[in-house]
Amino acid sequence: MNKIKNAFENGKAFIPFITCGDPDLETTAAVVRAAVENGADLIELGIPFSDPTAEGPVIQGANLRALNGGVTTDQIFRFVRELRRNVTVPIVFMTYANVVFSYGAERFISACKDIGIDGLILPDLPFEEKDEFLPFCHKYGVDLVSLIAPTSENRIAMIAKEAEGFIYIVSSLGVTGVRSEIKTDLTSIVKIVRENTEVPCAIGFGISTPEQAKKMAGFSDGAIVGSAIIRLLEQYGKAAPKYVGDYVKKMKSALI
C-alpha cells in the first residue's frame, strides 16, 4: 500500500524539496535526515536535469552544481536505498520526463519501487500524456503525482478526479522561487479539487516564510518549500543540514 497518505495524517503536511547531489550526496542524506528529525512529513527529492524548465534560478543552480559534481541517476538510486535503512517517511522523486525516458520508463519506475520511492512528479508532463508512464506506475505501485496550476482552469476537476498520492497545486504562474506575496486565487482551485477527490492537496512555488506556509495550509493540506531550502544549501554547503533542520522546525511549527 502506498505511504503518501500517511504524510497527511498528522495535521498539515510540511514537504521540503531537496536536489540530490547539491553539493554532494553525503550532504543530501544529512539534510534529509535533519528535515525528517525536525518534522518533515514527506520528502521531495529532485533528480538533477540539464534543462529544468519549471525551475527558477535558485533550483537551476542546484541542478547545475549537482551535475557538475558528477551525480547520476544510478548513484541517486543507490543513495535512496541506503537512506531507506532508517528514513521511513514517504519520499517522492521530482524530475523531468526526459530523465525517465532516457533511463527507460519501466526500468526507472520499477527501480523506484525497489528502493522505496512512493511517488513521481514530472512537471513537464502534460496531463493528456500521462499514459506514457501511468501503466508502469500502477504496475509497480508508484503514485504519479498530478500538478494543478492557475492556468489549469476548466481542467482542474478532470485532473483531480484522476489524481493519486497527493495533488501538487502550483501557487503562481512562472517558475519556482521565493515570492514576497502570492496573489493567485488558490481557495477557488482547492474548492474544485475538494469537490472532485479525497486525495490531499499541497501548495508549492513561492512559499518561504512560516506565515506564508500557515496561510497556504489554512485552506489546503500542506505546504511545499524548495527554493528557500536550496538557498541554505547554496549558502552553507556541507554545513547546511543544521540550518535546514532549524528552518524545517520553524515551518512545521507554523502548520500545527
d(CA 40, CA 224) in angstroms, rounded, equals 10
pLDDT digits (tens, 9 = 90+) for 1-60: 479 999 999 899 999 999 999 999 999 999 999 999 999 999 999 999 887 666 678 888
The overall longest dimension of the chain from CA atoms, in Å, is 46
Mean residue pLDDT of the chain comes to: 92
Neighbours of 183 (CB within 10 A): 11
pLDDT at 87 > cutoff 50 = yes
**Predicted local confidence at residue 52, as pLDDT:** 67
Res 171 pLDDT > 80: yes
User: Each residue of 133-166: pLDDT tens digit?
Assistant: 999 999 999 999 999 988 888 899 999 999 999 9
> In Å, how far from its chain's centre is CA 32?
13
Phi-psi region of 122 (alpha: psi -120 to 50; beta: other; left: phi over 0): beta
**pTM, entire model:** 0.93
CA 209 remoteness from chain centre = 17
| Domains of the chain: residue spans and CATH | 11-255 (3.20.20.70)
